[in-house]
């Protein structure tokens, strides 16, 4: 099994590198993130904005922790925007999500966002910039939420600042995101619990040390299920996850980098506890990105995280199953194309080896995102 795994890694790497030699690309996930810019020339004017994503994601999983399935469809979010002030923006729109092979829309909702900008800070109320925009690690927030749970509702505070590193010609981004996603409400006498998710993601300014760029990384997540004076037999639960890490980056040649992101991750839900190590190494090239990740978890659980990293099964009809240890080696092959301004394509191929169970599995995804501002 292990020999077959490494043969497959070699084949995927060789194939992707052959394809990529004649194409242009970005080297991170920013092409799939939501972007917003204040435009002083649009003050007092009504603008039409539009966001759409077409996706196909295939998960070939054969373990007892995560189900295998395919997601294939699109979502649309046309919006009308108005800036009454240079620091204030209002957006009103409609969101529709369609999964192929089903009748009608999977999701159909109105959207509204009030946004206030102060220097490098932004404050959002209503529909916030969710899923991959939080820049969380996969064990704590699955990349798949981009297509399965694209909308988040609540309040958000974001800080983003681009600055030039001293004595270098490279830019560095400081990033902070704190949010509250209110997923389900309840009221006294009701039988359903309220669900909400609050989190924080932080990337510190980089420091140059002996030719290496160092950056501190910190993330936290709190998921609560409960409510007061409700008639529910379900227990009140609060699940807490934290991750602290460091990024080490070495730039070389022309716009190429070797990056290592390493985390210590924790889980707490009284009286349960879990922990993990999450190690990542990437080669960032102007045309592609190749990475290797290793996950070693012990009784770990995260409600928003990718199913593969959990110790407690989420597979259909395996509710009581768990694995105290999860050990996974992942190869990540990423290719992004910028077709025109606002239109981006992202290809992701992620074979992995389940060390504990001796299983080779894989997932692939193709995402086409369009944003009109």
Q: What is the mean pLDDT of residues 351-362?
A: 95
Q: How many CB atoms lie within 10 A of CB 226?
A: 16
Mean pLDDT rounded to a whole number for the chain: 89
Q: How far apart are CA 23 and CA 332, in angstroms?
A: 18
Q: What is the pLDDT of residues 211-251, one digit of tens each?
A: 899 999 999 999 999 998 888 889 999 999 999 999 999 98
Query: Residue 168: its pLDDT value, please?
Result: 67
User: For the purposes of burial, counting CB atoms within 10 Å of the CB of 103, is it exposed (0-12), middle (13-18) or buried (19 or more)?
Assistant: exposed
What are the residues whose beta carbons fall under 8 Å from the beta carbon of 194, sequence distance 6 or more?
182, 184, 185, 186, 224, 225, 226, 227
Distance from first CA to last CA of the chain, Å, rounded?
49
pTM of the model as a whole: 0.88
For residue 200, the cross-strand partners are 178, 220
Which tokens sit at 318? 């395996």
Query: Residue 28: its pLDDT value, please?
Result: 59
Please determine, for residue 3, whether its predicted confidence score (pLDDT) is greater than 60.
no
Please determine, for residue 366, whether its predicted confidence score (pLDDT) is greater than 80.
yes
Q: What is the pLDDT of residues 24-69, one digit of tens each?
A: 323 357 778 887 777 777 888 999 999 999 999 999 999 999 999 9
Q: What is the mean pLDDT of residues 299-307?
A: 97
Q: What is the mean pLDDT of residues 173-200?
A: 95
Q: Are strands 207-209 and 194-203 parallel, antiparallel or unpaired?
A: unpaired
DSSP H helical ranges for the chain: 2-20, 145-148
Query: Residue 14: its pLDDT value, please?
Result: 42
Percent of the chain at pLDDT > 70 equals 92
Weakest mean pLDDT among 164-173, 297-306, 341-350: 164-173
Element (H, E) at 288: strand 288-298
Please determine, for residue 254, whether its predicted confidence score (pLDDT) is greater than 50.
yes
Percent of the chain at pLDDT > 90 equals 76
Please determine, for residue 359, whether its predicted confidence score (pLDDT) is greater than 90.
yes
Give the DSSP letter string of 86-117: TTEEEEEEEEEEEETTSSS-SEEEEEEEEEEE
């Amino acid at each position: 099994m292990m020999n077959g795994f490494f043969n497959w890694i070699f084949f995927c790497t060789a194939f992707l590198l052959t394809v990529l030699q004649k194409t242009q690309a970005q080297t991170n996930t920013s092409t799939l993130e939501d972007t917003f810019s204040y435009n002083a020339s649009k003050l007092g004017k009504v603008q039409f904005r539009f966001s759409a994503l077409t996706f196909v994601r295939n998960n070939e999983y054969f373990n007892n922790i995560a189900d295998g399935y395919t997601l294939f469809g699109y979502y649309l979010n046309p919006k009308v925007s108005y800036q009454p002030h240079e620091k204030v923006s209002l957006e009103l729109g409609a969101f529709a999500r369609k999964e192929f092979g089903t009748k009608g829309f999977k999701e159909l909702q109105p959207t509204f966002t009030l946004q206030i900008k102060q220097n490098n800070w932004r404050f959002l109320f209503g529909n916030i910039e969710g899923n991959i925009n939080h820049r969380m690690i996969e064990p704590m927030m699955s990349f798949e939420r981009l297509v399965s749970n694209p909308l988040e509702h609540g309040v958000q505070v974001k800080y983003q600042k681009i600055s030039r590193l001293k004595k270098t010609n490279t830019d560095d981004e400081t990033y902070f995101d704190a949010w509250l996603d209110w997923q389900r409400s309840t009221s006294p006498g009701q039988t359903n619990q309220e669900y909400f998710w609050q989190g924080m993601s932080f990337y510190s300014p980089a420091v140059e040390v002996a030719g290496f760029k160092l950056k501190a990384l910190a993330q936290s997540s709190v998921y609560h299920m409960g409510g007061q004076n409700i008639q529910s037999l379900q227990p009140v639960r609060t699940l807490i996850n934290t991750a602290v890490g460091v990024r080490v980056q070495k730039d070389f040649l022309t716009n190429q980098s070797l990056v290592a992101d390493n985390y210590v991750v924790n889980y707490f839900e009284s009286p349960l506890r879990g922990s993990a190590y999450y190690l990542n190494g990437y080669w960032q090239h102007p045309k592609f990105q190749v990475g290797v990740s290793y996950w070693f978890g012990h009784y770990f659980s995260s409600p928003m995280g990718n199913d593969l990293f959990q110790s407690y099964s989420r597979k259909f009809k395996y509710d009581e199953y768990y694995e105290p240890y999860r050990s996974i080696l992942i190869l990540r092959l990423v290719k992004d194309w910028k077709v025109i301004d606002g239109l981006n394509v992202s290809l992701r191929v992620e074979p992995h080896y389940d060390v504990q169970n001796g299983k080779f599995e894989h997932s692939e995804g193709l995402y086409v995102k369009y944003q009109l501002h």
